[in-house]
Amino acid sequence: MELRDKVVVVTGAAGGIGEAMVRRFAVEAPKGIVVADIDGAAAERVAAEVGGTAAQVDVADEADNRRMVALAEDVYGPVDLLCLNAGIATGGGMDAPNEAWQRTWNVNVMSHVYGARAVLPSMLARREGYLLHTASAAGLLTNLGAAPYSVTKHAVVALAEWLAITHGDAGLRVSALCPQFVDTAMLDALTEVGEGFHDFATSTAKSPAEVADVVVEGLRDERFLILPHPEVAGYFANKATDYDRWLAGMRKLQHSLGAGPGRGSPT
């Protein structure tokens, strides 16, 4: 997909990867960009700077997702690209409170369901449209010390796969963005994982702008997996080739970084 003259909606767009994508997309001269975020004031700021339209949206609410898509259609026309980017970082293991598990599920997974539901009828009727799901390397591998985050990001990848398989022949294009560590506010939480883990994460972290550049390339090539950290493909291949060896290696890494059970936060 080329972004010129396209209508684009990005959730979680007032900061981090979402804001970087909005700014990078704007360079490609789209027809219009909707900057959606739960922080309405921040969304207004970013939208004003790129000439877009702001929408205050709680992505965990299905009605808000429908209103977001309706706004985009009213202002610009049918949505060509919906970037389901909003997400939250939830660490901890099986002891994480039920409320934390549910909130993480609602924001990290159901928001993708609600967003896709809102645009699919139009996209399938037109036999064209693109869904970009921001998952994580944690959705292909796993994230030490962060069970709710890892589980929900796996679910996002599974949903993206299902949509690509089910509707790919009807013109729908789907990508899953799976970065490893990115220099956003979420990365700060890594200090909770354990001794050494923050240094490990920051040493390989990409900037949001670098991620956005890779996204534009991935959309242009219409690749399902968009990997800002190319090494993740190798890790994923190793996992598939010898799952038991990969699990043993992850346990060894966990011990070496001091990221034991009950501690942690996501990438």
Per-residue pLDDT of 133-155, as tens digits, reads: 999 999 999 998 899 999 999 99
Q: What is the mean pLDDT of residues 231-260?
A: 92
pLDDT of residue 81: 99
Per the annotation, the verdict on 149 as an active-site residue is yes
Q: Is the pLDDT of residue 75 over 50?
A: yes
Across 15-19, 87-91, 109-113, 247-251, least confident range: 87-91
pLDDT of residue 191: 46
Q: Note the pTM of the prediction, 2 decimals.
A: 0.93
Across 7-16, 90-99, 177-186, 255-264, least confident range: 255-264
Across 69-83, 144-158, 213-227, 253-267, least confident range: 253-267
Domain ranges for the chain, please list them. 7-229+237-257
Pairing of strands 53-56, 81-84: unpaired
Question: For the domain 7-229+237-257, what is the CATH superfamily, name and number?
Answer: NAD(P)-binding Rossmann-like Domain (3.40.50.720)
Q: What is the mean pLDDT of residues 119-144?
A: 97
Which listed residue (76, 114, 130, 149) is catalytic?
149
* Residue 267 binned pLDDT confidence (cut-offs 50, 70, 90): very low
